[in-house]
Structure 1
Amino acid sequence: MVRRLFVLLALMAATPVAGGAVALAASAAESPSASPVLNEQDRTFLVDAHQGNLAEIQAGRLAEKQGTTQAIRDAGTTLVRDHGKLDKDVMRVADKLGVALPDKPTKKQQAQLDAFAAKAGTAFDKKWVSAEIADHRGDLAAGKQEVSDGSSQQVKELAKGAKPVVQRHLEILKSIKGGG
């Protein structure tokens, strides 16, 4: 699934603890001692994170409109807000490092968004929550890979800062799926 680590970074920005981590990541990104050297892992992470954020914002808007429960609609609002904040950080770092970012989600992400839009009622809720859980698990794995294999301290700090946000999103989604 789409790497949704970017989503997690955005969630982090929405909470006091998460906000601090994003601020830490932002200051690390602006630090002259931060490594400007990028490897393919760093570039891939930035591109995937940006496209993931774009997709999460759209998915969140769909949940706000089509979700049948307040919990689904609230989760959608959280994704829109947090991924918007996260994407600003990703775009800032990518710009600073000279990494060009696409202007839309991947074809696979767009197909998933189209599939969400075609669903209604509880069928939408179930598909949306299940897909978001899988995506957030993938985001956690992508962040872990960036931290271990990336070469840019700035990009690695983005990944580290995103982890608590992504975990928080995952907890919210699992709570919705479990009915609790």
Structure 2
Amino acid sequence: MRITHIATTAAAAALTLTGTTAAFGAASPSATADAVFLQAIHQANLAEIAAGKDAATHASSSCVKQVSAIIVRDHTKLDAKGAALAKTKNITLPKESTAAQQKSLSALKPMNGTAAYDTAWLKVQSSGHQQALALIDKELKSGNDAQIQAAAKEARPIVAAHLKMVEGGECHAMASSSPSPQ
């Protein structure tokens, strides 16, 4: 019975981050697409940093802990660059990740310290990084601000490397390391 509950909770946690708008929030109608991108990717960075810090404490495998440290390091650097860029563009960034992102992390709590936590965390990370790549690709295809597009282009290989480390809910830290943002 407990295993079924853990599996159900893991599945619910993994499915929480479906739909880019729900995961990253809805933009105000007056915001430009470039501003919306910076705001959404900032929320994604905040969510990844929080999730990475949570895994550092609650993951049971060394692989997940290694991946979480890479994710915290890289998303902290990416977010600092994005925040500085937003400031130069006079774009206000949200103060926290979205409610859906926070709920996703909270859903992992009952599994703290277990293999089920690790599996669910990896699945949530896989989904989140897929969505972040979709945001980046949309910005690269249809953004208008050259500086914001350059930041998206720089972030893409880092986010793609993270996805490879967590893809399919499996941990691949030993075989991969992400290119660190400068």
| Contact 1:62/1:117 (8 A) holds in 2 | no
8 Å CA contact 1:67, 1:125 repeated in 2: yes
Offset of residue 61 of structure 1: 0.7
Q: C-alpha displacement at 1:176, in angstroms?
A: 6.8
Using the alignment, how far apart are the partners of 1:80 and 1:62 within structure 2? 10
1:23 counterpart residue number: none
The answer to whether residue 65 in structure 2 is matched with residue 68 in structure 1 is no
Q: Which structure is higher in helix share? A: 1
Does structure 1 residue 92 correspond to structure 2 residue 90?
A: no
Q: 2:144 aligns with which of 148, 151, 167?
A: 151
RMSD value, Cα? 2.1
Amino acid at match of 1:157: A
2:154 equivalent in structure 1: 161
Following superposition, the deviation at residue 117 of structure 1 comes to 2.6
Q: Which residue in the other structure is 1:77 paired with?
A: 69
Could you tell me which amino acid in structure 2 is paired with residue 73 of structure 1?
A: K
* CA distance in structure 2 between the aligned counterparts of 1:157 and 1:168, rounded to whole angstroms: 18
- Residue identity over aligned pairs, in percent, reads 30
Q: List runs of 5+ in structure 1 lacking aligned partners.
A: 4-38
- Displacement after TM superposition at 1:45 (Å): 0.6
Partner of 1:127: 120
Q: Offset at 1:94?
A: 0.2
Q: CA deviation at 1:178?
A: 6.3
2:137 partner letter:
K
Q: Read off the aligned partner of 2:33 and give its amino acid letter.
A: Q
CA offset digits 1:82-103 (Å, max 9, x no partner): 1110110000000000000111
For residues 116 and 49 of structure 1, what CA distance do their matches in structure 2 show?
22
Letter matched to residue 122 of structure 2: V
Shift of residue 116 of structure 1?
Answer: 2.0
By how many angstroms is 1:172 displaced? 1.2
What secondary structure sits across from 1:73 in the alignment? helix
Provide TM-score, normalisation by structure 1. Answer: 0.75
The TM-score normalised by the length of structure 2 is: 0.74
Deviation at 1:114, TM superposition (A): 0.9
* Number of the residue aligned with 1:51: 43
The answer (yes or no) to whether the contact 1:41–1:150 under 8 Å persists in 2 is: yes
Structure with higher RCO (Cα < 8 A, 6+ apart): 1
Equivalent residue for 1:34? none
- For residue 10 of structure 2, what is the aligned residue in structure 1? none
Q: 1:106-145 to 2 correspondence within 5 Å?
A: 106-120=98-112, 121-145=114-138
Deviation at 1:141, TM superposition (A): 1.2
